[in-house]
Structure 1
Amino acid sequence: MKQSTSLKVRLPTLVVGVEVVMLFLYAGFVTYDDDADAKMQNNETKPMDNSLYHDYHFFADVQVMIFVGFGCLLAFLRLYGFSGMVFNFLTATFAIQWAILVQGYFQFFSDGKIRLGVINLLNAEFACAVVLISFGAVLGKTSPVQLLVMALLEVPVFSVTEWAVLKYIKINDAGGSILIHLFACYFGLAVTFVLFRPGLNEGHAKDMTSYQSDILSLMGTLFLWVFWPSFNSALTLKGDDQHRAVLHTFIGLSSSTLTAFALSAMLNKTGKLTLADIQNVTLAGGVTVGATVDMMISPAAAFALGVMGCTACMLGYRYLTPFLARRLRIQDQCGIHNLHGLTGLISSLAGICAILLATEETYGPSLYQTFAYRAPPEGDPRLRELQRLIPGLKPGLGRSAQRQAVFQVAAIFCTVCLAALGGIVTGFVLKLPFLASPSDEWCYDDEAFFEVPSDFDSADMPKVLSNQETKV
């Protein structure tokens, strides 16, 4: 097959070339951080003071989400199960390796070296999650070579955006609603906009699920659901902030799950449940509480955010996704705009409201830890007073709640614009002749990439189902 021959040359060439370059970069610029460096440790060191014991369990949980949760979730297409899971594995592994270098330069670089510790791996996993969310928009329409090139370009754009927003705009975004979910969503939508294929708007014979593929995808949902509290709380302040993050995430997920079951039955003409809703909409609460996850919003507010996110996500799948494909040339295969875009916007707005309502009466002196940029600046007498109550409190920028809210809005616009611009450029790169696949030959079919088993029969296709029943 022409595709196989092309893959035989392109994939090894790209992987070997990139790995050789990364090997030299790791050799020249990556070393251990203090917690992993034998010279900085001795028998007097208390093991539990090492960051490994604070962060590794979060890293392990996010690993499960990345490789098992996303992998299974993306295997919902009947004839694309191998590709959904394996390309997720390939892309995720590459994205993490690459993010360690790129994020390391912006966040962990000192004395000419990137200081490598478990926290670097955790941050790289979040960058990888961004790539995999964007991957959902182009699922089944890109080759593994194109996916690797997409990751190669997206990780630097994300890392620069993250660095600029955190360093210069300075925002609260503990669960990544702005920097992870919104960025990934609009980057992926921009890529699929450029890769638009008119023939796919009328449906594709291979764009369908099966009993087995839906069960596998549902397993991915369950893994994501169980470990999402770790995803949202991993980078919050240790202590009560992290405790609230776990509580809010679980409550938001629980309320969105129950709401999803109710809405799925209510909106279905036959009154039955639609599995695509259970696979995706149940997760909406985890995104919707993200921006407020470490704040004193109350459990009831987390519950309400889960319901709001679920409702927006459900209506998006039913009505917005078909509209985007018909009117705006955006073929969002996995509906990432519903699960990550709409819910990310709701979460960001909720975060702004929580910032405006945050007072010292509710938080006590820890207000200036949760909202670090509201702490008094260096030299302010109020700072010395607070430091007596909270030793180690760092000077802030003295921002008011209103001023911080303005910066949150600015971060949303900057993130969305940079993501869309980066996605458009990436889309045009993926369309270059030496990367692009011919017409629709690589759509929804493992046979183009794998030696498939004898019972794989892409010719024996039942009728195409409706978008609402097949797309997730």
Structure 2
Amino acid sequence: MTKNSANLRVRLPALIFALEVMIIVLYAVFVTYDDHTNALLQTNMTKPMENAVYQDYPFFADIQMMIFIGFGCLLSFFQRYGFGGMVFNFLTATFAIQWAILIQGFFHFYYDGKIHLGVINLINAEFACAVVLISFGAVLGKTSPVQLLVSLFEILFEVPVFGVAEWIVVKYLKINDAGGSILIHVFACYFGLGVTFILYRPSLNDGHSKECTSYQSDMLSVLGTLFLWVFWPSFNCALTLRGDDQHRAILHTFIGLSASTLTAFALSAMLNKNGKLSMADVQNVTLAGGVTVGASVDMMITPAAAYALGMLGCTACMLGYKYLSPFLARRLRVQDQCGIHNLHGLTGLISTVAAICELQELIPGLKAGLGRTAKEQALYQLAALGSTIALAAVGGMLTGLLLKLPYLASPSDEFCFDDELFFNVPADYNQAPVAQDLGCTETQDKHVNISHVMVQHE
């Protein structure tokens, strides 16, 4: 598709206004306040501090920081696609949350003919939004905002499919996944891989002239990593039971992140032949521990086990970038642009296994109220993992097929990873050198994209 054919002057405004009208109508018909928000249900005897907002808002605010600043900065690593990474993250996240309030509301907060809205709904919606943004990483720089809004994620597939998967896993399988390693990270990973499998671009396998980072873009991306790192304990514990469960979730997440960070620095220096640290490793592999402890984050796994999980997740993530991502791109037609299979897929699988092993120890002693033996609960955990991967992969591939429709303004290979296609760029934009000028396709450390995973350890 040519540069002019990706013009957004008509398509994007028409789409956004149509979506806003749809949201207004649906909210007017179906959404009302919950008991903690409705003034008609409050009395003079109500103690303000008992309102749920005082318990839920701190977690909501922390997750907001992760969604809009953490993910936004992290995805701004391309020298010529910083606007796209951050601004499309902003656009996508904003609508994803609005749409998820409705979709998840029908599954979890719908009674008396209405979706009852409170801060807890916003937290649930932001988890669904995190799924969208993780999947977005698989196709970063290769899609238009029209594609992102119409087909790729929110409207037709990802949020609704995620809602179905969550409903099945939570309501019927009743597994333990407090930190969302299965429902959020694994689902998002395989949905994104399903999309990028269908959108395979052979010409990008050997890199692209604009898949280049700069000193400034890498610094901005590290800032995103730091925001995610700092607020990850809130993400993992927001929906756990209040009290000791939530306390353990915070401790285990911090310990896991700390372990993966130290391990990432060690492995980065060891696996790079020049013995130097890779910024891509610092930006991504350091976060692996937060995912790896997720499925068992509220259990009595011991601090030592949380530390070991952080180290194990980091090691799997690092080796995935070095060996697995190039294999997936060249042999299986899966161009995982941001390496989400390493940071979210592999670590999510490890977390699932760890939770099963821990449940084997806990269930005989705790005599779970569901009446399941340890073996039965392990089978339910595996069933949840399998159904999540299947729903995500099929949904992703169907979405990828929709993305190929010509009127969705998909950028051509030539204009991938280029802000100029969709933005008014400043005067110094064209002064930024491309890969041929810098030699970065051969010598410069790449970020977490196809070129990066092939060269960063050479």
Amino acid aligned to 1:352: I
TM-align CA RMSD: 1.4
Partner in structure 1 of residue 407 of structure 2:
434
Q: Which residue of 1 aligns with 2:439?
A: 463
Whole-angstrom distance in 1 between the partners of 2:209 and 2:79:
11
Provide the C-alpha distance between the structure 2 equivalents of 1:290 and 1:446, rounded to a whole number of angstroms. 35
Aligned: 1:193 with 2:197 = yes
Residue among 329, 350, 360 paired with 1:325: 329
* Residues 32 and 117, structure 1, Cα contact 8 Å, conserved in 2: yes
The alpha-carbon deviation at position 38 of structure 1 amounts to: 0.6
Aligned residue in 1 for 2:454: none
Work out whether 1:91 is the aligned partner of 2:92.
Answer: yes
Range with bigger deviation, 78-87 or 397-406 = 397-406
Q: Does 1:311 align with 2:284?
A: no
**Residue of 387, 408, 420 corresponding to 2:381:** 408
Q: Is the alpha carbon distance of 1:255 and 1:93 closer, same or farther for their aligned partners in structure 2, counting shifts above 3 Å?
A: same
1:264 to 268, 273, 291: 268
Report the equivalent of 2:346. Answer: 342
Change (3 A) 1:436 1:229: same
Q: Is the 8 A contact 1:204 1:464 kept in 2?
A: no
TM-aligned CA distance change 1:199 to 1:467, over 3 Å: farther
2:290 to 286, 290, 296: 286
8 Å Cα contact 1:244/1:294 also seen in 2: yes
Q: Distance in 1 between matches of 2:21 and 2:75?
A: 30
Aligned counterpart, 2:77: 76
Distance 1:204 1:458 in 2: 18
Aligned equivalents of 2:268, 2:447: Cα separation in 1:
14
Query: How many Å separate the matches in 2 of 1:441 and 1:94?
Result: 28
Per-residue CA distance 1:347-380 (angstroms, 9 max, x = gap): 000000011110565xxxxx46xxxxx21xxxxx
Residue 183 of structure 1: how far off its partner (Å): 0.2
Partner amino acid for 2:41? M
| SS in structure 1 at match of 2:433 | coil
Could you tell me how far 1:94 is from its partner in structure 2?
Answer: 0.4
Among 292, 296, 299, the alignment partner of 2:300 is: 296
Query: What is the DSSP-based 3-state SS (H/G/I as helix, E as strand, rest coil) of the residue aligned with 2:116?
Result: strand
One-letter amino acid of the counterpart of residue 410, structure 1: A
Residues of 1 paired with 2:265 and 2:328: CA distance?
25
Query: Residue 132 of structure 1 aligns to which amino acid in structure 2?
Result: L
Q: After alignment, is 461-470 or 122-131 more displaced?
A: 461-470
1:443 paired residue number? 416
The correspondence of residues 129-168 of structure 1 with structure 2, limited to 5 A, is: 129-149=130-150, 150=152, 151-152=154-155, 153-168=157-172
Instruction: Tell me the SS of whatever aligns to 1:114.
Output: strand
Residue of structure 1 equivalent to 2:453? none
Residue 253 of structure 1 is matched in structure 2 by 257
Q: Which of structures 1 and 2 has the larger relative contact order (alpha carbons within 8 angstroms, sep 6+)?
A: 2
SS in 2 for 1:196: coil
The CA deviation at 1:460 is 3.4
**Residue 213 (structure 2) pairs with residue 209 (structure 1):** yes
CA positional deviation for 1:6: 2.9
Distance 2:45 2:443 in 1: 62
Where structure 2 has 5 or more consecutive residues not aligned to the other structure, the ranges are 449-458
Counterpart amino acid of residue 76 in structure 2:
A
- TM-score w.r.t. the length of structure 2 is 0.94
Q: 1:246 to 1:258 in 2, by over 3 A?
A: same
Q: Corresponding residue for 1:387?
A: none
Q: CA deviation at 1:5?
A: 6.3
Give the Cα–Cα distance (whole angstroms) in 2 for the partners of residues 327 and 400 of structure 1.
41
Give the greater-gyration-radius structure (CA): 1
Of 228, 232, 238, the residue aligned with 2:232 is 228
Conservation of the 8 A alpha-carbon contact between 2:6 and 2:411: no
Following TM superposition, by how much is the alpha carbon of 1:471 offset from its aligned partner in structure 2, in angstroms? 2.9
More displaced stretch, 82-91 vs 9-18: 9-18
1:399 aligns with 2:399: no
* 1: CA distance, partners of 2:5 / 2:445: 31
Aligned CA distance change for structure 1 residues 91 and 399 (closer, same or farther; 3 Å): same
Q: For the residues of structure 1 that align with 2:257 and 2:443, how far apart are their CA atoms? A: 25
- Specify whether residues 269 and 5 from structure 1 end up closer, same or farther in structure 2 by C-alpha distance, changes over 3 A only: closer
Secondary structure at 1:434's aligned position in 2? helix
1:317–1:338 CA contact under 8 A, matched in 2: yes
Is residue 243 of structure 1 aligned with residue 225 of structure 2?
no
What CA distance in whole angstroms lies between the structure 1 residues aligned with 2:402 and 2:6? 21
Indicate the SS of the match to 1:120.
helix
Name the SS of the counterpart of 1:28 in structure 2: helix
Asked if 1 retains the 8 angstrom alpha-carbon contact of 2:279 and 2:447, the reply is no
Report how far residue 10 of structure 1 moved.
1.2
Cα deviation, 1:24-64, whole Å, max 9, x if unaligned, reads: 00001000000000111022101222111111100100000
Q: In the TM superposition, what whole-angstrom CA distance separates every residue of 1:265-304 from its partner, at most 9, and x where no partner exists?
A: 0000100000100000000000000001000000000000
Matched-pair contact (CA < 8 Å) for 2:3–2:421: no
Q: 1:390: which partner in 2?
A: none
Percent identity, aligned pairs only?
71
Between the aligned partners of 1:230 and 1:419, the Cα distance in structure 2 is: 25
How far the C-alpha of 1:239 sits from its partner, in A, is 0.2
What CA deviation, in whole Å up to 9, does each residue of 1:118-174 have, x standing for no partner? 000000000000000000000000001111122222100100110111111111100
Instruction: Identify the residue that residue 185 of structure 2 maps to in structure 1.
Output: 181
State the aligned residue count.
441
- Is the 8 Å Cα contact of residues 203 and 464 (structure 1) preserved in structure 2? no
Distance 1:330 1:163 in 2: 28
Does the 8 Å CA contact 1:76/1:209 hold for their aligned counterparts? Answer: yes
CA contact (8 A) 2:144 2:411 kept: no
Separation in 2 of the partners of 1:143 and 1:425? Answer: 18
1:453 matched to which residue of 2? 426
**Structure 2 counterpart of 1:437, one-letter code:** S
Shift of 1:439: 2.8
Tell me the TM-score normalised to structure 1 length.
0.91
Where does residue 382 of structure 1 map in the other structure? Answer: none
Residue 371 of structure 1 corresponds to which residue in structure 2?
none
Deviation at 1:469, TM superposition (A): 2.2
Greater Cα shift, 242-251 or 5-14: 5-14
